[in-house]
Amino acid sequence: MSWQRTSESRENYKSLPIEEKESYRWLETALNSKKSLSMASKITIIADRESDIYEE
């Protein structure tokens, strides 16, 4: 999956639902990978520190 920032930061960022935040891309990518790699015996996830906003 490829992701690119499309807008400036928002004033009310902290009050936005997770689906509207940039950080949601970590969740979305994990869900998409789960579908694509369902037959894999082992998966390695590499992410930056922002990806720790949720429990995997």
Q: For the chain, give the percent of residues with pLDDT over 70.
A: 70
CB half-sphere exposure, 21, CA atoms < 13 A: 15
Q: Count CB atoms within 10 A of the CB of residue 44.
A: 5
Q: pLDDT band for position 56 (50/70/90)?
A: low
Tokens matching residue 27: 């969740």
**How deeply is 21 buried, as exposed, middle or buried, from its count of CB atoms within 10 A (0-12, 13-18, 19+)?**
middle
Mean pLDDT of the chain: 76
User: What number is the average pLDDT over the span 14-29?
Assistant: 82
Q: Please say if the pLDDT value at position 51 is more than 80.
A: no
